[in-house]
Amino acid sequence: MSKATYVPMAVSSWAIGGMASVVHTSLTIQLPFCGNNIVNHLACELLAVLKLACTDISINVISMGVTNVALLGVPVLFISISYVFIIVTILRIPSAEGRRKAFSTCSAHFTVVVIFYGTLFFMYGKPKSRDPDVSDKLTSLFYGMVTPMLYPIIYSLGIKDVKATMKNLVLHKHVIQ
């Protein structure tokens, strides 16, 4: 990828994310908060802060919905369309071994995309409740900590040496037991 391609992509991603953050932060700052103002969550994220407001947060919810469609839905749509083209191209490969290698290469990226966007859709797409439950906290923990720790494992499983080592560890463990 050339510099003329990736620089505008990176800058636009930062700009759009920054604008969305400014909009959500400015809407949240205007809310009155009452009670103990303790965020009952693992991280001080927007959803947890909005639950502390003691007024109508419908504008915030609408803006989050629009942002979710724009920043989650549109990329997932483009990624899905890309995968359709990739799968069609892979299926046109004449050899079974070539198709297997191509699917193996794409499977790591597909797994990461599903984990990343699946967690986001679950976190921001489910109905909101006033009291945070365990699933809210676990989803936030999964998205913030577990998912990034999985990426190196998922991507390294495509490397032959890592696969061989993992097979040896699993076989060795079963032989000992």
What's the pLDDT band for 158 if we cut at 50, 70, 90? low
The DSSP line for 62-113 is HHHHHHHIIIIIHHHHHHHHHHHHHHHHHHT-SSHHHHHHHHHHHHHHHHHH
pLDDT tens digits for range 40-53:
777 777 877 888 88
Structural domains of the chain, count: 1
List the domain range (segments joined by +) for residue 130: 3-176
CA–CA separation, 174 vs 177, rounded Å?
A: 5
Give backbone dihedrals phi and psi of 8, rounded to 5 degrees, phi first: -60, -35
pLDDT tens digits for range 74-129:
888 998 999 999 999 999 999 998 888 888 778 878 888 888 888 877 777 766 65
- Residue 93 and residue 102 in contact, taking contact as beta carbons nearer than 8 Å: yes
- Residue 122 and residue 139 in contact, taking contact as beta carbons nearer than 8 Å: yes
